[in-house]
Amino acid sequence: MHLDHAACSRQSTAVLDAVAQHARHEAELGGYVAEQAADGLLQQGRSVLAGLVGMAAADVAFTESASASVRTLVSRWRLAPGARVGVLPGEYWQNVAAFTDAGLTPVVLPADALGRADLAGVERALRDDPPAFVHLTLVASHRGVVQPGREVAALCRAAGVPLVLDVAQAVGHVDCDLGADAAYGTSRKWLAGPRGVGFLVLRPAVGTRLTPLVGPELYDDRPAVDHARWYESHDAHVAGRIGLVVAVGEHLAAGPHRVRERLAALGRATRERLDGRGGWRVAEPLDEPTAITTLRPPADVDVRQVAARLRAEHSLLTTAAGRERAPRELSGPVLRVSPHLDSTLEQLDVLATALAP
């Protein structure tokens, strides 16, 4: 019983078949010929991915992961050493590590007790001491709370500060068309695509501030390409990119609004069933519109041991999320439960029974 889609969703048969078919084409035609033959499909995928975050196909670069995307972004952005990046207290630890490694200085913006951005405090910070850019993780990996991305985008726009959205836990899950200047995410979570594939989306105004490792001036004998594609790896898992494109097509076919409604309903059902069970307490508000539920353990309970027991004894897949994910917000590990569209209420009931002593 797969209740861990915030870690990695199951791919559909169509996605698996598309990945395998391209791998066969590479064996039959040669890798670069097969990639060229798939260029039209990949471009369609760029267009659809761009639409999910409110940008254009020319703004999309395929990457290997969300982590690869943020590292590419901050390593190629022409920022002064020590430049400040506005983040919330619950920022994902690997993002903070990427900023620090690039010589940037994370500064914490105000948030409420749930970790949600304090809009009045953010407005003051942007007015009084604006950072080089604001980085907002729309839905965190340790708490299923949606940030007010549209409102933060409006504040950033008014202050002339770029907004970068981490949509790794958000795309295919909640609305991500919010007016950001850049966004990045992954295939393997709520879009249910392959692992090892991600994307980075840059408005041209941000793209002009980045320096490609190898720029277009060295290839003046080749046709012009869209600005974001200078940040794509050319030694890539193209079959995985095709799998992502197929997965995004399935998401559109299902209807993004209906998907979001179903996931929000599953999140509410999860919280209703689990809060208080065996002394576990839900961290999110009951009606938070996400499918991620995080549970604080009773005293003296080892969350990792519980996750292992649920898997071994009940065939229930969950995640023990450690404090390192967000050390400013977590005092210890939490149990994360994340059903997807094919999850059932019966599975949630099994989990509720398994959590009770």
Rounded Cα–Cα distance for residues 28 and 44 (Å)? 24
3-state secondary structure 25-62: HHHHHCHHHHHHHCHHHHHHHHHHHHHHCCCCHHHEEE
Residue 351 structure tokens: 């989990």
Residue 249 structure tokens: 């097509």
Query: pLDDT: is 234 or 112 the higher one?
Result: 112
CATH number of the 256-355 domain:
3.90.1150.10
Note the pLDDT of residue 357: 66
Note the pLDDT of residue 222: 58
Among 22-36, 212-226, 269-283, the range scoring the smallest mean pLDDT is 212-226
Note the pLDDT of residue 218: 60
Q: Is 299 exposed, middle or buried (0-12, 13-18, 19+ CB in 10 A)?
A: exposed
- pLDDT of 25-56, one tens digit each? 999 999 999 999 999 999 999 999 999 999 99
- pLDDT of 130-158, one tens digit each? 999 999 999 999 999 999 999 999 999 99
Note the pLDDT of residue 243: 98
Note the pLDDT of residue 274: 98
Categorize the per-residue pLDDT at 216 as very low, low, confident or very high, splitting at 50, 70 and 90: low
Note the pLDDT of residue 223: 61
- pLDDT of 279-309, one tens digit each? 999 999 999 999 999 999 999 999 999 999 9
- Mean model confidence pLDDT for the chain: 95
CA 246 to chain CA mean position, Å:
18
Which sequence spans correspond to the domains of the chain?
Answer: 13-254, 256-355
- pLDDT of 158-211, one tens digit each? 999 999 999 999 999 999 999 999 999 999 999 999 999 999 999 999 999 999
Note the pLDDT of residue 217: 63
Rounded Cα–Cα distance for residues 246 and 232 (Å)? 19
C-alpha dist (Å) from residue 283 to 84, 142, 200, 286, 337: 30, 10, 30, 9, 12
Say how many C-beta atoms besides its own lie within 10 A of residue 122's C-beta: 23
- pLDDT surpassing 90 at residue 226: no
CATH number of the 13-254 domain:
3.40.640.10
